[in-house]
Amino acid sequence: MPFITKLINSQSVVDNTYVWEFEKPAGFDFAAGQYTNLTLINPTQDDPVANCRFFSMASAPAEKTLLFAARSTESAFNAGFRALRPGEMVELSRPAGNFVIEHGPQTIVFFVGGIGIAPVRGILKQLEFEGRDIDIKIFYSNTSLNRALWQADIENWYSHVELITLISDDGQRLSDDIISQQAGQADMYYTVGKPEFVRYTLRSMQGVGIPLERVRMEQFTPY
């Protein structure tokens, strides 16, 4: 059964990037890092693909509202989502996905591309709320600093995180050398971002002997 929820507010936060805050429907239970299928109930125009898209929750289960983040695109769905006004409704599917933190790991490395920081926010916020003691290193890649969503906040979300920012416009890119240096340094590895970013990190991790059973991934397709 779908959940109906109401928009509280939305805002443009960094270059070409928006964040939406919704009420949390009763019974909408999820694990940090999971996603939902969000459907526009009264879209301004029909999208030729569909009037819905998958979104990772950027909020933690412990928070009282739901957060979603996305880059602006030319799709009819994206335009309709950005056109929503406070009080308007959308439909959410039951949460799903395994991009979650399991009990046991003491060290985790995240390879994050662009808007892929959304589920990482919820994960870190929930770890802090639960008082979990996990050493986390985040390699956060963006084309430019003004597209790095929540850049200044990441290390405040969780007390055991080390952030390494990589800006490709400044010649800083996630490389095979960086990934190989992390082999054997963590119990689990998480990669999230555009499909090409995730494919690259998976190939590189496999190339340095990181077993796939120690990897979790989430791909963000255009909205």
Q: At 211, is the pLDDT very low, low, confident or very high (cuts 50, 70, 90)?
A: very high
What is the H or E stretch that residue 171 is in? none
pLDDT in tens, 181-205: 998 889 999 999 999 999 999 999 9
List, in order of start, the domains of the chain with CATH numbers.
3-92 (2.40.30.10), 107-219 (3.40.50.80)
pLDDT in tens, 122-176: 999 999 999 999 999 999 999 998 889 998 899 899 989 999 999 988 889 899 9
pLDDT in tens, 51-109: 999 999 999 999 999 999 999 998 999 999 999 999 999 999 999 999 999 888 899 99
**pTM as predicted:** 0.94
Region 111-121: what's the mean pLDDT? 96
pLDDT (0 to 100) of residue 15:
87
